[in-house]
Amino acid sequence: MADAPLRVALIGAGANTRLRHIPGLLATEDVELVTVCNRSEESGRRIADEYGIANVVTDPAAIFADDSIDAVSIGTWPYAHRDLSVGALEAGKHVLCEARMAMNATEAREMLAAAQARPDLVAQLVPAPFDFKSWRTIRRLVDDGSLGELREVHVSMLNGSGMDADAPLHWRERTDYSGMNTMMYGIITEVVSRWLGRTSRVMADGTTFMDRRTDAETGEPVTIEVPDSLGVLARLESGARVTYRVGTALHGFSPQQNGISLFGSQGTLHWRMGDAMTFAALGEEPRDLEPDDGTAGEWRVEQDFVASIRTGGPGVLTSFEDGVHYMEIIEATHRSRLEGRAVDISEV
């Protein structure tokens, strides 16, 4: 296959697929987009006509049965990720699956098991994109002792995107589409895990302020169970404490205030959305910090996926193993919030 074009099918060509994955795949040498599968023939045909894709289907089974297709890009909502990923892997297709990984940790582990059963195939999740420039530098500062003993991590992911009471119901507000995923909590736990390692325990509290919206498809009001305000106290396996604040119902909160702060015994690092960092050694004032030479990445998700297929090497971000862990954090947080107690990740 190294000398032949890689033939890729799209399952669920939603917003991120159109914004990122289709352009990224088309810009990659020796890649052909050959089939698109959407819920309706009409929406699939629009995508096919726009991007010159030859085949349109509405049943993913047609893609799995097509031996000429090498890989699939899954851009559906989380409710379909497990079935589509497992089906594609069992059919011998490489998989690039959109985040969040699954509805819950059980589904995520089933996806991982299917990937492990086919070690000849690449199974990759679309990674959290916020820290492509900085994550290697942050890992280096943690690993080489520049921060000293990491003590506390403060995470803020707050905005007013859910303030409009008249806005239609979003899929992220539907448990039947999103499962246990809550706002941007999963994507930010992925970042924290990438920098600092595994989480061992969580204690959560949350509420839903905007608890009813209208379903645009049916015109009917729907009660929302997914929180729009979440606080989590977590403990990393390293012993550091993490405080998460995640919310979408806050008026006047500046996006520039969102970020992650690492407080160590020998230094403090502040990372802000936009991928900018400051660092202060103990006793010194904060100074701007640029990524280490040669380490600043950018969005190359599709190219990295194809390169892993071509070379047989592992992808850098994000593996199914890493996805299982953030789904375990998500499920432990869900249980903690509903049961009013601390939950060890090992329980999930």
- Residue 323: inside a domain, yes or no? no
Structure tokens at 231: 């606080």
Digit-by-digit pLDDT tens for the chain (348 residues) are 456 899 999 999 988 999 999 999 999 999 999 999 999 999 999 999 999 999 999 999 999 999 999 999 999 999 999 999 999 999 999 999 999 999 999 999 999 999 999 999 999 999 999 999 999 999 999 999 999 999 999 999 999 999 999 999 999 999 999 999 999 999 999 999 999 999 999 999 999 999 999 999 999 999 999 999 999 999 999 999 999 999 999 988 777 789 999 999 999 999 999 999 999 999 999 999 999 999 999 999 999 999 999 999 888 899 999 999 999 999 999 999 999 999 999 999
Is 263 found in the same domain as 161? yes
- Residue 113: inside a domain, yes or no? yes
- Predicted pLDDT at 313: 87
Residue span of the structural domain in which 257 resides: 135-298+328-347
Is 183 found in the same domain as 173? yes
Is 184 found in the same domain as 121? no
Query: DSSP E strands: which ranges in 119-275?
Result: 123-125, 150-158, 199-207, 212-214, 221-223, 229-236, 241-247, 259-264, 267-272
- Residue 322: inside a domain, yes or no? no
Q: Give the CA distances from residue 218 to residues 14, 80, 173, 211, 248, in Å, rounded to whole numbers and listed in that order.
A: 20, 21, 16, 17, 24
- Residue 321: inside a domain, yes or no? no
Is 45 found in the same domain as 124? yes
Is 206 found in the same domain as 189? yes
CA distance linking residue 180 with residue 175, whole number of Å? 7
- Predicted pLDDT at 142: 98
CA distance linking residue 168 with residue 81, whole number of Å? 24
Give every CB contact of residue 2 below 8 A, 6+ residues apart in sequence: 310
Q: pTM, whole model, 2 decimals? A: 0.97
- Predicted pLDDT at 300: 96
- Residue 105: inside a domain, yes or no? yes
- Predicted pLDDT at 143: 97
CA distance linking residue 77 with residue 181, whole number of Å? 11
Is 120 found in the same domain as 166? no
Is 334 found in the same domain as 307? no
- Residue 62: inside a domain, yes or no? yes
Structure tokens at 129: 């994109």
Q: What is the CATH number of the domain that holds 183?
A: 3.30.360.10
Q: What is the CATH number of the domain that holds 89?
A: 3.40.50.720
- Residue 1: inside a domain, yes or no? no
Q: Are 70 and 7 in contact (CB under 8 A)?
A: yes
- Residue 147: inside a domain, yes or no? yes
Q: Where does residue 312 rank: exposed (0-12), middle (13-18), buried (19+ CB within 10 A)? A: exposed
Is 279 found in the same domain as 163? yes
CA distance linking residue 173 with residue 227, whole number of Å? 8
CB neighbour burial string for 257-283, b if at least 16 within 10 angstroms, e if fewer: ebbbbbbbeebbbbbbbebebebeeee
Alpha helices in 1-72 (DSSP H): 15-16, 22-26, 41-51, 60-64
Is 147 found in the same domain as 84? no
Is 104 found in the same domain as 169? no
Is 274 found in the same domain as 178? yes
Q: How many domains does the chain have?
A: 2
Alpha helices in 145-262 (DSSP H): 175-178, 185-196
Is 332 found in the same domain as 249? yes
CA quadruple 112, 314, 144, 287: dihedral sign? negative
Q: Is the peptide bond before 318 cis (omega within 30 degrees of 0)?
A: yes
